[in-house]
Structure 1
Amino acid sequence: MTYLIDAWLDRPHPYLRILHRETGEVCAVLEEEALHELQDQGDLDLNGLSSSEPMVLKEVVRNLFLFCYARALRPSHDVHHKIEI
Protein backbone atom coordinates (compact mmCIF):
# COMPACT_ATOMS: atom_id res chain seq x y z
CA MET A 1 0.00 0.00 0.00
CA THR A 2 1.08 3.52 -0.61
CA TYR A 3 0.11 6.58 1.38
CA LEU A 4 0.06 10.35 1.06
CA ILE A 5 0.88 12.71 3.90
CA ASP A 6 -1.46 15.69 3.99
CA ALA A 7 0.10 18.03 6.55
CA TRP A 8 -1.10 21.53 7.44
CA LEU A 9 1.33 22.50 10.16
CA ASP A 10 1.47 26.28 9.74
CA ARG A 11 -2.20 26.89 10.59
CA PRO A 12 -3.65 28.12 13.91
CA HIS A 13 -4.96 24.55 14.46
CA PRO A 14 -2.48 22.28 12.63
CA TYR A 15 -3.24 18.74 11.59
CA LEU A 16 -1.70 15.91 9.65
CA ARG A 17 -3.53 13.16 7.82
CA ILE A 18 -2.30 9.95 6.25
CA LEU A 19 -4.33 9.10 3.15
CA HIS A 20 -4.46 5.88 1.14
CA ARG A 21 -2.96 6.96 -2.18
CA GLU A 22 -5.32 4.99 -4.43
CA THR A 23 -8.65 5.60 -2.67
CA GLY A 24 -8.04 8.89 -0.86
CA GLU A 25 -9.40 7.31 2.31
CA VAL A 26 -8.17 8.91 5.54
CA CYS A 27 -6.21 6.25 7.45
CA ALA A 28 -4.94 8.34 10.37
CA VAL A 29 -5.36 11.85 11.69
CA LEU A 30 -3.06 13.73 14.04
CA GLU A 31 -4.48 16.97 15.34
CA GLU A 32 -2.90 19.84 17.23
CA GLU A 33 -2.45 18.12 20.60
CA ALA A 34 -0.87 15.00 19.09
CA LEU A 35 1.41 17.07 16.85
CA HIS A 36 2.62 19.08 19.84
CA GLU A 37 3.30 15.83 21.70
CA LEU A 38 5.31 14.51 18.76
CA GLN A 39 7.28 17.75 18.56
CA ASP A 40 7.92 17.76 22.32
CA GLN A 41 9.25 14.19 22.08
CA GLY A 42 11.43 15.14 19.12
CA ASP A 43 9.62 12.58 16.96
CA LEU A 44 8.17 14.94 14.35
CA ASP A 45 10.81 15.42 11.69
CA LEU A 46 9.74 18.32 9.47
CA ASN A 47 12.61 17.59 7.08
CA GLY A 48 11.35 14.03 6.72
CA LEU A 49 7.87 15.31 5.85
CA SER A 50 9.23 17.40 3.00
CA SER A 51 11.62 14.74 1.71
CA SER A 52 11.25 13.25 -1.76
CA GLU A 53 13.18 10.12 -0.79
CA PRO A 54 10.81 7.10 -0.72
CA MET A 55 12.64 5.36 2.14
CA VAL A 56 12.56 8.50 4.30
CA LEU A 57 8.85 9.00 3.67
CA LYS A 58 8.15 5.32 4.35
CA GLU A 59 9.86 5.65 7.73
CA VAL A 60 7.94 8.86 8.53
CA VAL A 61 4.59 7.18 7.73
CA ARG A 62 5.57 4.10 9.74
CA ASN A 63 6.47 6.22 12.78
CA LEU A 64 3.26 8.25 12.50
CA PHE A 65 1.16 5.07 12.38
CA LEU A 66 3.01 3.67 15.40
CA PHE A 67 2.43 6.89 17.32
CA CYS A 68 -1.29 6.81 16.45
CA TYR A 69 -1.60 3.19 17.60
CA ALA A 70 0.22 3.89 20.86
CA ARG A 71 -1.91 6.96 21.52
CA ALA A 72 -5.14 5.10 20.76
CA LEU A 73 -4.19 2.37 23.25
CA ARG A 74 -3.80 4.78 26.15
CA PRO A 75 -6.59 4.10 28.66
CA SER A 76 -6.98 7.76 29.65
CA HIS A 77 -7.37 9.00 26.09
CA ASP A 78 -11.02 9.36 25.07
CA VAL A 79 -10.45 10.85 21.64
CA HIS A 80 -11.41 8.39 18.91
CA HIS A 81 -8.76 7.85 16.28
CA LYS A 82 -9.32 6.34 12.89
CA ILE A 83 -6.48 3.96 12.17
CA GLU A 84 -6.60 1.45 9.37
CA ILE A 85 -3.98 -0.53 7.54
Structure 2
Amino acid sequence: MTYLIDAWLERPHPYLRILHRETGKVCAELEGDALEELRELGELDLPSLSSAEPPVLKEMVRDLFLFCYARALRPSAEATHA
Protein backbone atom coordinates (compact mmCIF):
# COMPACT_ATOMS: atom_id res chain seq x y z
CA MET A 1 0.00 0.00 0.00
CA THR A 2 1.09 3.53 -0.67
CA TYR A 3 0.15 6.49 1.49
CA LEU A 4 0.20 10.26 1.33
CA ILE A 5 0.72 12.60 4.25
CA ASP A 6 -1.67 15.56 4.12
CA ALA A 7 -0.65 18.04 6.79
CA TRP A 8 -1.62 21.64 7.38
CA LEU A 9 0.08 22.54 10.62
CA GLU A 10 0.26 26.32 10.36
CA ARG A 11 -3.40 27.23 10.63
CA PRO A 12 -5.80 27.95 13.51
CA HIS A 13 -6.94 24.29 13.61
CA PRO A 14 -3.96 22.23 12.40
CA TYR A 15 -4.34 18.65 11.22
CA LEU A 16 -2.34 15.79 9.81
CA ARG A 17 -3.91 12.97 7.84
CA ILE A 18 -2.57 9.82 6.26
CA LEU A 19 -4.39 9.04 3.02
CA HIS A 20 -4.43 5.88 0.94
CA ARG A 21 -2.81 7.05 -2.29
CA GLU A 22 -5.09 5.14 -4.68
CA THR A 23 -8.47 5.71 -3.02
CA GLY A 24 -7.93 8.97 -1.12
CA LYS A 25 -9.46 7.33 1.95
CA VAL A 26 -8.33 8.79 5.28
CA CYS A 27 -6.49 6.04 7.15
CA ALA A 28 -5.42 8.10 10.17
CA GLU A 29 -6.05 11.65 11.34
CA LEU A 30 -4.39 13.71 14.05
CA GLU A 31 -5.62 17.04 15.39
CA GLY A 32 -5.46 19.15 18.53
CA ASP A 33 -4.16 17.25 21.56
CA ALA A 34 -2.66 14.46 19.45
CA LEU A 35 -0.57 16.89 17.39
CA GLU A 36 0.52 18.71 20.54
CA GLU A 37 1.57 15.40 22.12
CA LEU A 38 3.59 14.52 19.00
CA ARG A 39 5.35 17.89 19.17
CA GLU A 40 6.10 17.47 22.89
CA LEU A 41 7.53 14.00 22.27
CA GLY A 42 9.71 15.36 19.45
CA GLU A 43 8.07 12.94 17.02
CA LEU A 44 6.62 15.56 14.66
CA ASP A 45 9.60 16.24 12.43
CA LEU A 46 8.68 18.99 9.97
CA PRO A 47 11.71 18.48 7.69
CA SER A 48 10.80 14.79 7.36
CA LEU A 49 7.25 15.71 6.36
CA SER A 50 8.54 17.73 3.43
CA SER A 51 11.19 15.19 2.41
CA ALA A 52 11.17 13.72 -1.08
CA GLU A 53 13.09 10.63 0.05
CA PRO A 54 10.85 7.52 0.13
CA PRO A 55 12.64 5.84 3.08
CA VAL A 56 12.23 8.98 5.23
CA LEU A 57 8.54 9.27 4.38
CA LYS A 58 7.97 5.54 4.90
CA GLU A 59 9.45 5.80 8.39
CA MET A 60 7.34 8.88 9.15
CA VAL A 61 4.12 7.14 8.04
CA ARG A 62 4.99 4.07 10.10
CA ASP A 63 5.66 6.17 13.20
CA LEU A 64 2.42 8.14 12.73
CA PHE A 65 0.37 4.94 12.39
CA LEU A 66 1.99 3.52 15.54
CA PHE A 67 1.26 6.72 17.44
CA CYS A 68 -2.39 6.68 16.33
CA TYR A 69 -2.83 3.04 17.32
CA ALA A 70 -1.14 3.60 20.69
CA ARG A 71 -3.49 6.52 21.43
CA ALA A 72 -6.49 4.43 20.43
CA LEU A 73 -5.47 1.69 22.87
CA ARG A 74 -5.19 4.02 25.85
CA PRO A 75 -7.99 3.80 28.39
CA SER A 76 -10.25 6.79 28.04
CA ALA A 77 -10.56 9.26 30.91
CA GLU A 78 -14.25 8.37 31.26
CA ALA A 79 -13.56 4.66 31.62
CA THR A 80 -10.93 5.19 34.32
CA HIS A 81 -13.31 7.28 36.44
CA ALA A 82 -16.20 4.81 36.29
- TM-score for the superposition, normalised by structure 2: 0.91
1:58 aligns with 2:55: no
Decide which structure has the larger Cα Rg and report it: 2
Q: After TM superposition, where is structure 1 displaced by more than 4 Å over at least 4 residues in a row?
A: none
Deviation at 1:77, TM superposition (A): 5.6
- TM-score for the superposition, normalised by structure 1: 0.88
- Structure 2: where are the runs of 5+ without partners? none
Q: Is contact 1:14-1:32 (8 Å) kept? A: yes
Q: Is contact 1:71-1:77 (8 Å) kept? A: no
Amino acid across the alignment from 1:6: D
Partner of 1:67: 67
1:1-85 equivalences under 5 Å are: 1-76=1-76
Q: Is contact 1:8-1:14 (8 Å) kept? A: yes
Bigger RCO (CA 8 Å, 6+ sep): 1
- Percent identity among equivalent residues? 77
* Structure number having the greater helix percentage: 2
- Structure 1: where are the runs of 5+ without partners? 79-85
